């Protein structure tokens, strides 16, 4: 097990949904310093309000863009280990594929190169279950074929492949994490790319029925963001030299069941409004948890009902603010 005591940790994309929770989780350990490197394209300083009260945490004020290779290299020289979460999200990549390449592929190469040059002791890379595409079998193990058909998934496959090459060519210890469907507090709800849970809660807040496309039988592995943050720290602390691991619960929940649970937790009696199914990227995706448990010591803790309670409470506090 890698000892994080006194370590200087650079969290790239540390102001986002997952990144800010990774920062919080790291600060529960006896680390030396946590530097947040973020361009605040999607992340917010508000996500870091609690963390920045800890004197060990600070934002790298010179810059935070992974396309600015010289600034990134300077930040990397002040770190021992790195967590790389910066990326354009799925729908952004769908609409802006060249930007997807620039940020997710070229930017990730910049991160890998800077890690090599700074002799970083360990890198954790945020990949995605999008690399798999639709499930051929459930649960999906890490050996599941890459059936991705999206630009986002393509960039994550490229990131994993480059990380593998850097490990074998330069000996960089790097672990990739393939997240299932991540949800929880600090989820984007004002922007153009809000998640299905936030869309449902927005409609309920307006006194409107929640919308489900198709029959709601699409099934996904929903994993709480706090558990995902712990997975990142488990990967940092592990002794695995290289590999990619699913991060999820291994439990499939349909969109209809999620909607019904949100109706129950909010006390709403609105009926579900079913609309014809439109284009979708995947319809079923549930990941095996065995490899992450075995190699990283990661086990999820927060069940969906409790996670949604926390999401609703956070959203209510945000709308009151």
Instruction: Check if 152 is active-site.
Output: yes
The encoded tokens of residue 29 equal: 């350990």
Look at residues 180, 163, 179 and name the one whose alpha carbon lies nearest to residue 171.
163
Helices marked H in 188-297? 196-205, 225-237, 255-266, 290-291
The DSSP bridge partners found for residue 254 are: 219
- In angstroms, what CA-CA distances link 114 with 24, 60, 72, 77, 237? 24, 16, 7, 8, 21
For residue 177, how many C-alpha atoms fall within 13 Å in the half-sphere facing its CB? Answer: 31
152, 179, 224, 245: the active-site residue: 152
Name the residue with tokens 């014809």.
276
User: Distance between CA 151 and CA 147 in Å, rounded?
Assistant: 12
3-class SS of residue 9: strand
3-class SS of residue 261: helix
Q: Phi then psi for 136, rounded to 5 degrees?
A: -85, -30
3-class SS of residue 222: strand
Active site residue ranges = 152
């Amino acid at each position: 097990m890698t000892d994080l005591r006194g370590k200087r940790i650079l969290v790239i994309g540390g102001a986002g949904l997952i990144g800010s929770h990774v920062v919080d989780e790291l600060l529960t350990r006896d680390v030396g310093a946590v530097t947040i490197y973020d361009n605040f394209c999607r992340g917010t300083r508000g996500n870091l309000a609690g963390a920045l009260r800890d004197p060990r945490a600070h934002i790298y004020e010179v810059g935070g863009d992974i396309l600015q290779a010289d600034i990134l290299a300077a930040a990397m020289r002040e770190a021992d280990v790195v967590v790389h979460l910066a990326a354009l999200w799925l729908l952004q990549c769908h609409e802006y594929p060249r930007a997807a390449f620039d940020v997710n592929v070229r930017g990730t190469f910049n991160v890998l190169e800077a890690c090599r040059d700074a002799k970083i002791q360990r890198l954790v890379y945020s990949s995605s279950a999008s690399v798999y595409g639709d499930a051929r079998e459930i649960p999906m193990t890490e050996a599941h074929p890459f059936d991705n058909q999206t630009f986002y998934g393509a960039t994550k496959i490229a990131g994993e492949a480059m990380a593998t090459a850097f490990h074998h060519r330069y000996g960089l210890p790097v672990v990739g994490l393939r997240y299932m469907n991540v949800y929880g507090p600090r989820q984007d709800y004002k922007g153009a790319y809000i998640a299905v849970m936030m869309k449902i809660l927005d409609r309920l807040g307006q006194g409107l029925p929640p919308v489900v496309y198709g029959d709601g039988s699409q099934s996904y592995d929903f994993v709480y963001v706090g558990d995902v943050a712990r997975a990142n720290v488990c990967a940092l602390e592990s002794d695995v030299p290289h590999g990619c691991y699913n991060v999820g619960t291994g439990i499939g929940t349909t969109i209809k069941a999620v909607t019904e649970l949100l109706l129950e937790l909010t006390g709403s009696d609105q009926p579900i409004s079913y609309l014809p199914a439109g284009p979708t990227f995947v319809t079923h995706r549930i990941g095996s948890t065995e490899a992450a448990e075995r190699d990283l010591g990661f086990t999820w803790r927060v069940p969906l009902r409790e996670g949604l309670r926390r999401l609703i409470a956070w959203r209510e506090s945000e709308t009151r603010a």
